[in-house]
Amino acid sequence: MDLFDMQTMVTSTRLSPVQLLCLRAFLLAYALTALLATISTGTLFYGYFTNWTLLGINMYLMAAVFNTACYIHSQDALAKMNSRPVAVRYINWMLYMVPAVSCYIVSIVYWSLIFPSSKEKNAFSMWVTASQHAANSIIMISELIFGCIPLAYAHLPTFLLIAFLYLGITLIFHAKTGIWAYSFLDTSKSGAWMYYLGVGVFFVIVFFGMTFLHNWRDARRERLGMAPRVAQFQDRDADNVVPDSTK
């Protein structure tokens, strides 16, 4: 938690807080539309890592929009956010970390393993698929470019725990439906343990890659003197001062 300051959640080195809020609100509107469209297709939502990742993106953006709006609205909002219980601030960080890593796992796996054999039926399903497996990464890339939230290697155990929880959901999904959400998770295949080991290693590689990229971004900004653009409350207060007519 020594790396985490709520200012990183609500500021950007490239955009003003108001501009950042507008960008996040737009991304949230798109992500929420994609989530509702995914649900409307009638597929069993809980069985697929893709859907959980899209839900995670929505949860992160909702928190980010709320926090950024609070920061803009009140001068003491940042101090109040930093005085929240450690668990609450840690959850805010986790809401970013999970989709910031898992979205690329979803995109890489889909476009390399699943897309070649997929057959989309109509324009709507093509748009939903693109939103789930391409727009998801674009949304989080925009956060990487414009945002300031750091990642830490110490998050790896938490990230792996979430991955293991999903594997548990996969087994439940198969037990109830007889369907494997992803063919490479089929435990009846010869050498199935190797697939699971490979998935675990892949998760770790992507996590370390994204953490390294975030650290490189932050080091580069510090080297170039790119400080976060904070809210200008002093200028706003000065505009509201009523002149003293006795002077």
Instruction: Decide if pLDDT at 113 tops 70.
Output: yes
Whether 1 is in a domain gets the answer: no
Structure-model confidence comparison of residues 121 and 195, the more confident one: 195
Categorize the per-residue pLDDT at 191 as very low, low, confident or very high, splitting at 50, 70 and 90.
confident
Whether 89 is in a domain gets the answer: yes
Whether 237 is in a domain gets the answer: no
Whether 113 is in a domain gets the answer: yes
Nearest-angstrom CA–CA distance, 106 and 90: 24
Q: pLDDT > 70: what percent of the chain?
A: 92
Distance of CA 115 to the CA centre of its chain: 23
Q: Give residue-wise pLDDT tens across range 138-148.
A: 999 999 999 99
Residues 6+ apart with CB under 8 A from 122: none
pLDDT of residue 242: 40
Whether 246 is in a domain gets the answer: no
Which residue(s) pair with 12 in the sheet?
229
Q: Give residue-wise pLDDT tens across range 28-64.
A: 999 999 999 999 988 889 999 999 999 999 999 999 9
Whether 71 is in a domain gets the answer: yes
Whether 247 is in a domain gets the answer: no
pLDDT of residue 241: 40
Find the domain containing 57 and state its range: 7-232
- Cβ burial, residue 85 (10 Å; 0-12/13-18/19+): exposed
Domain count, the chain: 1
Instruction: Decide if pLDDT at 197 tops 70.
Output: yes
Whether 86 is in a domain gets the answer: yes
Residue with tokens 């219980």: 85
